[in-house]
Structure 1
Amino acid sequence: MTPSSTLPRIAIIGGGPAGLMAAEFLSRYPVRVDVYDSMPSVGRKFLMAGKGGMNITHAEPFPAFVSRYGEHQAEVAPLLEAFPPTALRAWLSELGIETFVGSSGRVFPTDMKAAPLLRSWLRRLREAGVVFHTRWLWTGWQTPGQSLVFQSPQGGQVIHAEAVIFALGGGSWPQLGSTGQWQEPFRAQGIAVQLLQPANCGFTAAWSDHFKSRYAGQPLKTLTLRLTDSHAQTLKQQGECVITETGIEGGLIYSLSAAIRNCISQTGQAVVYVDLLPDKDVAWLHQRLAQPRGKTSLANVLRKLGLDGVKAGLVRELVPAADIHDAQRLAQAIKALPLTLLAARPLAEAISSAGGVDFAGLNEDLMLKSLPGVFCAGEMLDWEAPTGGYLLSACFATGRQAGLGAWAWLADQTATVEPPPV
């Protein structure tokens, strides 16, 4: 076995799923792989993502799967084609982690947990010779390229590597390591970085004090949202969300968060239309609302329609007083309640982020065109996706590509190194 001190070194900066997947593929070749992470342990955001069920990928047909990556589908699709959900599940099986497909098409480990997966993975990486350096914060380059400056527990350190893979994440959940602080040194080198913005996030709404004091934290179940996006396309999605002190959040909102955010960016606000009873039509509602009420209160009228609690509260909050007692207008409002959203919640509160290193500055192996031998992977690239396994899938796929790309680049630099298999 070749001593690690004589092997070419590849430094991976960031120990999340993208960085670990880069290490996974590089560990199969004769190189020294060093993973640096600023946190006391690696994979912290990965573990957080596993709380409530480790949704690792999605089993829907591939064309539908890649469509979830929206405006950056063209850049992400080839990477996912090279490492699709089926390949990811096969890799997990090799690791001893069996998976199953839930009723929604989401894929989970059979035990639903992230920790056993991460433990098995780290054990295999260490056995393969991967070296982990925790509490090592990358602060920049000594010289552009492979001379890396860190702040470590032992003080300032300069490390030279033959190739470097950055997998530092975006800007969400900064307390778990994804601080976005890498943007400044990247931009200082002339690397194009699109502004990091919240994705899969909640939005601010101007609730009355009465409404938010009574309903904050209450779930809104079985409703449909409709939005006309900045491209004049009508988007419609059914699901659930949650009222918050500041506005609204949850899976249904996250699925439309990119479109909502872009509308707010262009016009200062976004109006989404809430269908509180998606299984009923306006005619059905009008027929029942037009019947004489007698002494029946509005609350009881709404309850008989299936609107009580927070849904009834939302009607009172958003329907003008003049329309409450007009059967036709109230029926129409229940099917298309206009909710004005004013701003995305802060990036630190978001599940993930949009923006990052521009794909135009990368080659097909995710190497920076301006810095040969330097690669980028994961959420620090300029793409976004909804929850549902799409985020992790792209992190794994980009990490794999960056790892293989780094090896291929070394092959071009060193005559004794064989290129990786196809």
Structure 2
Amino acid sequence: MKAKIAIIGGGASALFFATQIDTQKFEVQIFEQKKTLGRKLLVAGNGGFNLTHSSPVNQLVKKYIPVEFLSDKLEQYDNLFFQHYLKELHIPTFIGSSKRVFPVPPIKPIEVLNELLKVIKEKDITIASAHKWQGWNADYTKLLFKTENDQKEVAFDMAVFCMGGNSWQKTGSNGHWLNIFQKAGITCHPFQSSNCEMLIDWSHSNIGLFAGTPLKNIAVKSSQQQVKGELVVTKNGMEGNAIYALSNDVRTSLNTNGTALVYLDLKPGITIDKIIEKLAGFKNGNWTAHVKQQLKLTKVALELIRFNSDKFTYTDPDQLAHLIKNIPLKIYALGPIDAAISTVGGVALQSVNAHFELQQLPNQFVIGEMLDWDAPTGGYLLQGCFTMGTYLANYFNNKTVP
């Protein structure tokens, strides 16, 4: 008789696990609270469907916080392995100018999802939709679900929890499971936003009027790192890949100090001395027009400069050059969780062993965004879910079943 595996949740890590589990060895069933699987995967594709990043693995592992929790798994199932897996699903990929990996056009997210579902169907994996997980029975040997019409108890030999974090709740990733896990004595951490809008007080400026305006070819610096990329001004702050990558630094500072300070470099490609040289030689006329022309600054960039300078700083080439390379952005909070691309928090990593098995509940495993880890956008989040799902499937395939 085959051992029974119950997969709770139908997001990316669940799909990657399910497509690679050996159904000759296991009887597998997926329980999803929504009516369809992979909804967050589709939402993630709305802004450009970067599947992974093409960084060499020694650089790839450094994008995950904490590094050590996933490093050995990434070395086994890295971005090249992921691309090969996708190719076997008839999803060819290409590397974009940003070094991110995308499906070859005109392949859309729904087509990627359909290929995953096709494999799951071929493997005779049962999908039980509209099943909301409610917890366990008294001795943790059965899973409790609420359906549209009744309550259900499900026996299992192994359970794999893949219910996601707490962002994009409309996809089903609402973190309702956190209290259930905590009541079971499993150490969990509160959810916090990551890869999200950073809130800045624009009330004493006109910067909020530029909401939706991009700042391209810039860099943002924290005390720990500098990231080149793009930002978008919002009514209440900033968002974009450059500042998303500083999420952990910003969140740590906010949790410790109540505020966070990062610095915007409007011209990362040129030095302070070069900026001073470009601004020198002004004799008369309109100083703002001169600055804008010499440095090719946009209106929103000029507004950010004015917001952070007095008359002397603004009109002195040396002071202005230093400011242009170091515009302070005082962040007072992270954007709301439901608008965040991802979250941190959830099951503490010390609550699982090296195989993602819950320390106090043998044969019950947690993967994906339910675990408390972090990574920037750019394909790293999906790569992390792929690596965990792939590792666990292969661990099951090669282990002696209970």
TM bracket, shorter-chain basis: over 0.9
Q: 1:144 to 1:312 in 2, by over 3 A?
A: farther
- The alignment status of 1:177 with 2:172, answered yes or no, reads yes
1:28-107 matches, cutoff 5 A: 28-70=23-65, 72-107=66-101
**SS of residue paired to 1:50:** helix
1:260-409 matches, cutoff 5 A: 260-406=250-396
CA drift of 1:301 comes to 3.1
Residue 3 of structure 1 aligns with which residue? Answer: none
Counterpart AA for 1:117: V
Alpha-carbon distance in 1 for matches of 2:282, 2:53: 50
Q: 1:296 to 1:120 in 2, by over 3 A?
A: same
> Which of the numbers 192, 195, 209 marks the counterpart of 1:214?
209
Q: 1:205 to 1:299 in 2, by over 3 A?
A: farther
- The alignment status of 1:253 with 2:243, answered yes or no, reads yes
- The alignment status of 1:17 with 2:12, answered yes or no, reads yes
> Which of the numbers 97, 102, 106 marks the counterpart of 1:108?
102
8 Å contact from structure 1 (residues 27, 130) kept in 2: no
CA drift of 1:302 comes to 2.7
Alpha-carbon distance in 1 for matches of 2:354, 2:234: 42
8 Å contact from structure 1 (residues 95, 120) kept in 2: yes
CA drift of 1:275 comes to 1.2
Counterpart AA for 1:280: I
8 Å contact from structure 1 (residues 17, 395) kept in 2: yes
Q: 1:274 to 1:361 in 2, by over 3 A?
A: same
8 Å contact from structure 2 (residues 12, 386) kept in 1: yes
Alpha-carbon distance in 1 for matches of 2:24, 2:86: 20
Length-normalised TM-score, structure 2: 0.95
Aligned residues: 401
Counterpart AA for 2:90: G
CA deviation vs aligned residue, 1:383-413 (integer Å, no higher than 9, x gap): 111111111111011112333444566x252
CA deviation vs aligned residue, 1:158-184 (integer Å, no higher than 9, x gap): 111111000011111111111011110
**SS of residue paired to 1:172:** coil
CA drift of 1:272 comes to 1.2
Alpha-carbon distance in 1 for matches of 2:366, 2:46: 27
CA drift of 1:133 comes to 1.1
Q: 1:290 to 1:59 in 2, by over 3 A?
A: closer
Length-normalised TM-score, structure 1: 0.90
Alpha-carbon distance in 2 for matches of 1:220, 1:161: 52
Residue 420 of structure 1 aligns with which residue? Answer: none
Of 277-286 and 131-140, the range deviating more from structure 2: 277-286
Residue 117 of structure 1 aligns with which residue? Answer: 112
Alpha-carbon distance in 2 for matches of 1:280, 1:404: 49
Alpha-carbon distance in 1 for matches of 2:260, 2:138: 45
Alpha-carbon distance in 1 for matches of 2:310, 2:34: 51
Give structure 2 stretches of 5+ with no counterpart. none
Alpha-carbon distance in 2 for matches of 1:315, 1:76: 41
The percentage of aligned residue pairs carrying the same residue is 34
8 Å contact from structure 1 (residues 299, 312) kept in 2: no
Of 251-260 and 208-217, the range deviating more from structure 2: 208-217
Residue 227 of structure 1 aligns with which residue? Answer: 222
CA drift of 1:14 comes to 0.7
Alpha-carbon distance in 1 for matches of 2:378, 2:208: 31
Alpha-carbon distance in 1 for matches of 2:274, 2:53: 37
CA deviation vs aligned residue, 1:23-82 (integer Å, no higher than 9, x gap): 122244332111011112100000111224321112211100111113x11110112122
Alpha-carbon distance in 1 for matches of 2:139, 2:398: 21
Runs of 4+ displaced beyond 6 Å: none
Alpha-carbon distance in 2 for matches of 1:214, 1:359: 43
Counterpart AA for 1:372: P
